[in-house]
Amino acid sequence: MIIGTTASQNGRRRIAVTGIGCVTAIGLGAEGLWAGLLKRESAVKTITRFDPAEFRSHMAAEANDFEPADYMEVRRAKRLDRFGQFSVASARMALDDAELDVASLDADRVAVQMGSALGGVALAEEQHHVYVERGPRAVNPLLALAVFSGASSCNIAIEFGFTGPNCTNGMSCASGAIGIGHAFRLIRDGEADVALAGGAECPLAPLSFGAFALIRAMSKRNDDPATASRPFDRDRDGFVMGEGAAVLVLEEWGRAVKRDARIYAEICGFGTTNDGYHMTAPLPDASQSTRAMELALGDARVLPDEIEYVNAHGSSTKLNDSTETKAIKAALGERAYRVAVSGTKGYYAHALGASGAIEAAICSLAIARSWLPPTLNLSEPDPDCDLDYIDDGGRETRVGYAVSNSFGFGGINAALVFRAPE
């Protein structure tokens, strides 16, 4: 399909991805993320933020190269927790990458839509210790302003003066993808012309980490952390926790073309459903994750045979990976066996609510640069996971249409469809 440069497609406003900003364990910003993908190495190591000895899992992917003062005034950085810093820094990187002059924007027409599963929970945990040991007067007064998930989108809006639609959803591990999907709809429906959208997560604190260890959701491959996150592999034994954030600049297509912006990809479809089944286990027949993909394809007005790449949720858990494989097969039919698939969490681990945003950034970069990242640590595919998972070398190929899947606790399913800006 040839895609023109008109501002509408079948009478609907089109949406371009013109900027990418991110904080991940494998790199910062669009170029840092891309360089990290090309290295084909995992950033998962033994956790250093606290002593994990009392837990089953001892590993995480930490974004240790991040320095908040590189992206905001020191005074401003001190008034934000790490979760807020990630949000503001990723937004700044995305705006810079898009070469957008903030002063030239109509602030009322700029939306900020983010996602986060846990918000400022790490700061809350830290300050609870202060409260217990020293009493309420010793607690950081900024706690009340930092702990709620909405601090992500609100701090971005405050930093840049954006006054359009603002929301941070808390829909578990699908949050980032849902934030992007909501922003996509706001622009398509004419409520905004530009949006900053994505997700942020900083969950690496003992209580949060331990809670997931307690329900035996995380890998215990502690002797070899770099191979612990292994989506679709027969020997996978749970996810690995990470921290990170990603923000995309979305623009109405005609606006982006008029200013001669570099366009990574076009977002053309979004679908979301709920299993209505269980808080941790996916619906065994994958019917609702399938429906999320089908809704996204229908929204994009794209046929299954046009899809060439799927960036899978690929959490490296026994149930998720096999159920997602069922969903891809059901949604794409026979085409599923001819579509390249990769699960990229082996690189930067599972950053919960930020994962879908990071993976949307990866989809956009992969389309723009005609290279698909591999599924790290896939030594022997599970017999139930029998699709064309890209091996450790990656794959050079042009992609016209791609799908990014994000699934979360509570049975949340989300899918985004991207296409090349030809």
pLDDT at 391: 87
Distance between CA atoms of 194 and 415, rounded to whole angstroms?
Answer: 21
The verdict on 176 and 289 lying in the same domain is: no
Q: Which are the contacts of 167, defined by CB distance < 8 A and separation ≥ 6?
A: 112, 113, 114, 150, 153, 179, 182
pLDDT digits over 91-147, tens only?
A: 999 999 999 999 999 999 999 999 999 999 999 999 999 999 999 999 999 899 999
pLDDT at 178: 98
Distance between CA atoms of 362 and 238, rounded to whole angstroms?
Answer: 23
Catalytic residue selected from 268, 350, 363, 385: 350
The verdict on 87 and 110 lying in the same domain is: yes
Distance between CA atoms of 113 and 364, rounded to whole angstroms?
Answer: 18
The verdict on 254 and 274 lying in the same domain is: no
Distance between CA atoms of 323 and 344, rounded to whole angstroms?
Answer: 17
How many other C-beta atoms lie within 10 A of the C-beta of residue 247? 38
Distance between CA atoms of 130 and 398, rounded to whole angstroms?
Answer: 53
Decide if 58 is catalytic: no
The verdict on 108 and 206 lying in the same domain is: yes
The verdict on 43 and 188 lying in the same domain is: yes
pLDDT at 6: 57
Catalytic residue selected from 154, 173, 202, 268: 173
The verdict on 170 and 305 lying in the same domain is: no
The verdict on 161 and 273 lying in the same domain is: no
Which of these three, 233, 258, 283, is where a domain ends? 258
Q: Pairing state of beta strands 340-342 and 388-389? A: parallel
The verdict on 364 and 312 lying in the same domain is: yes
Which of these three, 258, 288, 319, is where a domain ends? 258
The verdict on 37 and 96 lying in the same domain is: yes
Decide if 350 is catalytic: yes
pLDDT at 7: 65
Total number of domains constituting the chain? 2
Is 191 a domain residue?
Answer: yes
Q: What are phi and psi of 109, to 5 degrees?
A: -105, 15
Which of these three, 258, 293, 311, is where a domain ends? 258
pLDDT at 1: 34
Domain CATH number, residue 195: 3.40.47.10
Q: Range of 363's domain?
A: 268-419
Is 197 a domain residue?
Answer: yes
pLDDT at 3: 43
Catalytic residue selected from 154, 182, 202, 313: 313
pLDDT at 334: 96
pLDDT digits over 233-267, tens only?
A: 999 999 999 999 999 999 999 999 999 999 999 99
Distance between CA atoms of 25 and 49, rounded to whole angstroms?
Answer: 14
Is 164 a domain residue?
Answer: yes
Is 71 a domain residue?
Answer: yes
pLDDT at 422: 76
pLDDT at 8: 66
CA neighbor of 307 nearest in space, from 388, 217, 220, 377: 388
Is 6 a domain residue?
Answer: no
Decide if 173 is catalytic: yes
What DSSP character marks residue 147?
Answer: S
The verdict on 316 and 402 lying in the same domain is: yes
The verdict on 286 and 242 lying in the same domain is: no
Per the DSSP assignment, residues forming a β-bridge with 267 are 15, 418
Is 2 a domain residue?
Answer: no
The verdict on 171 and 278 lying in the same domain is: no
Q: What is the pLDDT along the chain (422 residues), one digit of tens a residue?
A: 334 445 666 678 999 999 999 999 999 999 999 999 999 999 999 999 999 999 999 999 999 999 999 999 999 999 999 999 999 999 999 999 999 999 999 999 999 999 999 999 999 999 999 999 999 999 999 899 999 999 999 999 999 999 999 999 999 999 999 999 999 999 999 999 999 999 999 999 999 999 999 999 999 999 999 999 999 999 999 999 999 999 999 999 999 999 999 999 999 999 999 999 999 999 999 999 999 999 999 999 999 999 999 999 999 999 999 999 999 999 999 999 999 999 999 999 999 999 999 999 999 999 999 999 999 999 999 999 999 999 889 999 999 999 999 999 999 999 999 999 97
Is 152 a domain residue?
Answer: yes
Is 366 a domain residue?
Answer: yes
